[in-house]
Amino acid sequence: MKLRLRRALKRRSTPATDDACRDLTSSTEADAKYRGLLEAAPDAMVVVDQSGKIVLLNLQAEKQFGYRRDELIGQPVTNIIPEGFAERLIADGVRSAAEALAQQIGAGIELIGLRKDGSEFPIELMLSPLESPDGVLITAAIRNISVRKAAEKVLAHMEGRYRGLLEAAPDAMVVVDQRGEIVLLNVQAEKQFGYRRDELLGQKVTNIIPEGFAERLVADGLRSAEDALAQQIGMGIELIALRKDRSEFPIELMLSPLSGADGILVTAAIRDITARKSAEAHLLQKIEELNRSNEELGQFAYIASHDLQEPLRMVASYTRLLSKRYKGQLDAQADEFIDFAEDGANRMQRLIQDLLAYSRIGTRGEERREIESEVALEHALMNLRGAIEESGALVTHDALPIVLGDETQLIQLFQNLVGNAIKYQGGPDVPLIHVSAVSSEGDNKWVFSVNDNGLGIDDLYFEKIFGMFQRLHRRDEFDGTGIGLAICKKIVERHGGSISVESLPGQGSTFRFDLAAA
């Protein structure tokens, strides 16, 4: 920028001084013409002889330095340019005056100008020689560059701030032009990629991000460069980066456009996501392990409960045989002992059967099909017909929808819920049970309710009852394994839904669960 300005200045200044140079060597007519040119020059012009005395100046010079012309003619030029100019006019031991001068020609020299009132201002000086009868004179074109200096200062400040921002960024930042060449980068980028800054500036960005970035900068037949870029803005793109030592690491790239004088530049914020990636991989591995151990546990529960059934069958069968053949033939105590043994064996059988049912939910029912829930309910009621007849329960239901699920599990779900409703009754009332379903259209599912007029449940136990082996009643009140609702919960959750209860003691309960609509 500075350089460009200076060149422009030179182009503009040179004709004035060149003209002056040629004209002063000829006649007075020419002298007048030269004076006119001198006055017309946009810059302050001062002609100085070899001893450093001012021999001529224009109106601009008067204005800039605040002197009248006669106050300056014949005075040393150091009065208005204290340092850096006069010295350059004087030959030293090493070089002649002409040589000394020749070195300065055309180059803009930045110096300090001094006004009559003692104030200083920055100037740029352009020198050119002027042959005259009295020897070589120097024409100096003097430009007040205080505005430019101030602008430069602001710019430098801004640049400093931008650079500061760039350097302060926690991510590696690389600015790339449309050709895919790196024009700017920060210290994080140096560190991450293992290069020195100068090794990357001007290099192709593919050196550090071989694939997926440079391609995105290029417009194709379908889109302009702006469009191509716009598509990528703000999106984290996961790519592979390459260090100087050729090692690779995963990165996330965020792009943003930067309009510059040379077209659109792209600022890429590059984050090393090695840690995140390995955390992700670690998490995935953990999930896999967890799934495997869950599966193993399910298998274990299944095998254990299945194998437990064998010895239990022996115990149960023989205690039953004992009871059948010898009850009443031994003493009363022996009969009692046999009863306890039989009762224990029966309970354990139910427990193992429920455990098996519970573990089967995990090992079976992978596939979901369209199920008529009404048919499933009717199937469940058929399985419960003994209990329904015995209790005189009245089970009603609305029209029930088609849902996605496993039919066997859905039957079991209804069977457990309706079975509980029949079982947990307090008074002399006939058990009244109603099953209904309402559509929850927003999330494409059905919410089922199983409502009863039974004992009800204290809200203290709303959560607890769905846990494994959780019971609220003494065995001599209501027998059970405490697995039934755990099975319900597992079935519903396996179908992606949830189950809950609403109840008031003495006023019945409503169990709700949701299933995906078909």
Partner 1 sequence: MTVTEVSGIPIAVLLVDDSVGDVRLTQEVFREANSAIRMHVAYDGVEAMAFLRQEGMHADAPRPDLILLDLNLPKMDGREVLALIKGDESLKLIPTVVLTTSDAEADIRRSYELQANSYLSKPVQLEAFESMVRSINDFWLTKAKLPQQSPV
Residues lying near partner 1 in the complex (CB under 8 A) are found at 309-310, 312-314, 316-318, 320-321, 324, 349, 353
Q: To 10 degrees, what angle do helices 407-423 and 373-383 make?
A: 50
Q: Cα–Cα distance between 79 and 77 in angstroms, integer?
A: 5
Whole-number minimum distance, CB 353 to partner 1, in Å? Answer: 8
Q: Cα–Cα distance between 112 and 388 in angstroms, integer?
A: 110
Residue 149 or 306 with smaller CB distance to partner 1: 306
Residue 323 or 436 with smaller CB distance to partner 1: 323
CB crowding 401-424: b at 16 or more within 10 Å, else e: bebbbbbbbbbbbbbbbbbbbbbb
Residue 17 or 481 with smaller CB distance to partner 1: 481
CA 63, 67, 69, 75 dihedral sign is negative
Whole-number minimum distance, CB 292 to partner 1, in Å? Answer: 23
Specify whether the CB–CB gap between 352 and 308 falls below 8 A.
yes
Among candidates 55, 138, 134, which has minimal Cα distance to 102? Answer: 138
Among candidates 192, 207, 206, 292, which has minimal Cα distance to 251? Answer: 192
Query: What secondary structure does DSSP assign to 43-83, as a single string?
Result: SEEEEE-TTSBEEEE-HHHHHHHT--HHHHTTSBGGGTS-S
Whole-number minimum distance, CB 318 to partner 1, in Å? Answer: 7
CA 414 vs. chain centroid, Å, equals: 46
Q: Cα–Cα distance between 107 and 288 in angstroms, integer?
A: 74
Residue 305 or 415 with smaller CB distance to partner 1: 305
How is residue 348 written in tokens?
Answer: 């354990």
Residue 179 or 327 with smaller CB distance to partner 1: 327
Residue 224 or 317 with smaller CB distance to partner 1: 317
Whole-number minimum distance, CB 408 to partner 1, in Å? Answer: 13
Which amino acid appears at position 41 of this protein? A
Whole-number minimum distance, CB 317 to partner 1, in Å? Answer: 5
Whole-number minimum distance, CB 313 to partner 1, in Å? Answer: 5
DSSP code of 171?
Answer: S
Residue 191 or 313 with smaller CB distance to partner 1: 313
Q: Cα–Cα distance between 368 and 447 in angstroms, integer?
A: 18
Whole-number minimum distance, CB 420 to partner 1, in Å? Answer: 23
Give residue 74's region: left, alpha or beta (phi > 0; psi -120 to 50): left
Beta-sheet pairing, 369-372 with 509-516: unpaired
Whole-number minimum distance, CB 340 to partner 1, in Å? Answer: 17
Whole-number minimum distance, CB 319 to partner 1, in Å? Answer: 9
C-alpha count within 13 angstroms, C-beta hemisphere, residue 439: 8
Residue 310 or 331 with smaller CB distance to partner 1: 310
186-192: Cβ within 8 A, 24+ apart = 189/270, 192/241, 192/243, 192/249, 192/270, 192/272
Residue 105 or 314 with smaller CB distance to partner 1: 314
Beta bridge pairs of residue 265: 258
Residue 155 or 314 with smaller CB distance to partner 1: 314
Residue 188 or 305 with smaller CB distance to partner 1: 305
Q: Cα–Cα distance between 142 and 161 in angstroms, integer?
A: 32
Residue 393 or 483 with smaller CB distance to partner 1: 483
Q: What does each C-alpha distance from 137 to 38, 142, 171 come to in angstroms? A: 15, 16, 59
Whole-number minimum distance, CB 248 to partner 1, in Å? Answer: 49
Whole-number minimum distance, CB 289 to partner 1, in Å? Answer: 28
Whole-number minimum distance, CB 475 to partner 1, in Å? Answer: 20
How is residue 340 written in tokens?
Answer: 């306890």
